[in-house]
Structure 1
């Protein structure tokens, strides 16, 4: 299930998978508050986001894990998005 909006911003229609959803959310909110693991589960319906974040890091995303003072709560911030330019 892909939500229609996250943090008051409509999810684009091209987002068809959880990987695209997580990538979009990390890129869209790159300069605002980091996304918490609770938001991934509760609002984005993404329970296996750890594997998706791992794969995105393999693709060139730089995603920082931020520990919080609340037990069990972790935040994620994307600091660099890989280039989408393809040279033919």
Structure 2
């Protein structure tokens, strides 16, 4: 789950307006930051993971999740 947490697209984590987010300066994440406790749908286009530390503002589109997938099937489609 670490890769998913490190890819959080919310403004706080990823940054906005040319200002880096908090993940830009982190070397590693805590267990609470990488423990998934729930996932909520966002409309018909994505999901919001809820992490044990309470963070729940990242909206991962299905497109982003597919692009992050490293299974054989998805990897072959990207070639």
Report the TM-score when normalising by structure 2.
0.26
Larger relative helix fraction: 2
